[in-house]
A = this chain, B = another copy of it.
Amino acid sequence: MAEKTTYSISELAKEFDVTTRSVRFYEDQGLLKPARRGQTRIFSSKDRVRLKLILRGKRMGFSLAETKELFDLWDETLTGNEKQLLKMLTILDNKRAQLEQQKNDIAQAEMEMDTAEARCREALADLQKRKRQQKGAEKEAPEPAEQK
């Protein structure tokens, strides 16, 4: 038994660096379904996984609604009628296309950042050069008399 199986709301919040408010909100929107002991929420490791997926989804630009759709779909898929399964397969295909697009976007962004960085470094080198040149000039004519 290496894995902890239940978590409090603040444990999860701390682990993933979100507020408890957010966690409750995700439950409200049907993305998490913690058990209860009285009023208190008790999160399972499944909930934990889902929270992780929610946050990754957000980083990838997915809305909560989109993520919920996927969760729901996957749950339905597990009940396993043929139509659901086929639907899931096509949706997986679509998501894959989305990921491809994102990979392209990232690659583009990286290239542009490369050229941006290069330009920055060039500009910096230029500045350094001018500084050195000025220092040389100062030796020829020291103290270039301030303008009053």
Contacts and interface: CB of A to CB of B under 8 A. Distances in A.
Query: Copy number of this protein in the oligomer?
Result: 2
Interface in A45-99: 56, 58-61, 74, 77, 80, 82, 85-86, 88-89, 92, 95-96, 99
Contacts of A85: 120, 123-124, 127
Given A102-B106, A109-B99, A82 B117 contact: no
Q: Which 10 pairs between the two chains have the least Cβ-Cβ distance?
A: A61-B61, A56-B105, A80-B123, A85-B124, A85-B120, A92-B117, A88-B120, A60-B105, A89-B120, A99-B106
Interface of A: 56, 58-61, 74, 77, 80, 82, 85-86, 88-89, 92, 95-96, 99, 101-103, 105-106, 108-110, 113, 116-117, 120-121, 123-124, 127
